[in-house]
């Protein structure tokens, strides 16, 4: 599936909303993959970056402002904290922060693109 930035952000928001609600689940368990198909790292942002940059998901991530550090896999990122968390309440906490951050980015993107 060819992704626009708008579509990638929409799918990210759906995924992280589900992760926030389910707490202990993993990205690969999301049923949305049936509709959207496989994406790099089970991540619409990575898939978008691969399609629209140099082929690496680490280049100018569309979610970079959420991670606190440059990339989601870097030490100290919210994603990494979510991924490492074992307790359901901690995973829900980080997923909520990430989901709200994606909503903010998506709304800002909609304003700048006129959508």
Contact 90, 50 (CB under 8 A): no
Q: Which of 11, 35, 2 is nearest to 102 (CA)?
A: 11
Dist. CA 90–CA 92, nearest whole Å: 5
**First and final C-alpha spacing in the chain:** 21
Q: Which of 41, 64, 72, 52 is nearest to 4 (CA)?
A: 52
The one-digit pLDDT tens for each residue of the chain (115 residues) are 899 999 999 999 999 999 999 998 999 999 999 999 989 899 999 999 888 887 666 667 899 888 888 788 888 899 999 999 999 999 999 999 999 999 999 998 888 776 5
Which pTM does this prediction carry?
0.90
């Amino acid at each position: 599936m060819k992704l626009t930035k708008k579509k990638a952000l929409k799918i990210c928001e759906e995924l992280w909303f589900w992760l926030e609600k389910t707490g202990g689940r993993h990205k690969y368990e999301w049923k949305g993959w049936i509709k959207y198909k496989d994406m790099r790292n089970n991540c619409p942002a990575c898939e978008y970056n691969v399609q629209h940059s140099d082929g690496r998901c680490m280049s100018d991530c569309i979610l970079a402002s959420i991670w606190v550090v440059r990339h989601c896999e870097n030490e100290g990122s919210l994603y990494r904290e979510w991924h490492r968390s074992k307790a359901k309440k901690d995973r829900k906490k980080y997923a909520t922060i990430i989901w709200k951050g994606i909503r903010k980015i998506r709304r800002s993107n909609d304003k700048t693109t006129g959508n």
